[in-house]
């Protein structure tokens, strides 16, 4: 009304209940789909975690004074 100084004319009645019921059904359907998708992603994540951890070894525990072999392949020495 402010821009054109007249009432906006819309060809449909926005207060009809039919649209609201369908919208509510759509929202519920989308929530259900999101919930199912989230559960599927969580199951896939758990399966991937199980597959990766199957071949993983425990890390070695290092102590002070342990002897280790170091590679000097990528070390740069100043002359």
DSSP class of residue 55 equals S
DSSP class of residue 14 equals T
Nearest to 42 by CA among 54, 31, 34, 30: 34
Structure token pair of residue 53? 């951890």
Whether 44 is in a domain gets the answer yes
Per-residue tens of pLDDT for the chain, all 79 residues: 555 666 666 665 555 555 677 888 888 999 999 999 999 999 999 999 999 999 888 888 889 999 988 898 888 888 7
- Domain of residue 22 covers 14-54
Whether 9 is in a domain gets the answer no
Whether 49 is in a domain gets the answer yes
């Amino acid at each position: 009304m402010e821009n054109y100084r007249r009432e906006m004319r819309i060809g449909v009645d926005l207060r009809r209940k039919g649209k609201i019921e369908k919208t509510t059904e759509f929202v519920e359907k989308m929530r259900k789909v999101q919930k199912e998708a989230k559960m599927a992603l969580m199951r896939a994540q758990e399966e991937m975690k199980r597959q990766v951890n199957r071949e993983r070894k425990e890390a070695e525990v290092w102590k002070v004074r342990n002897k280790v072999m170091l590679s000097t392949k990528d070390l740069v020495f100043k002359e």
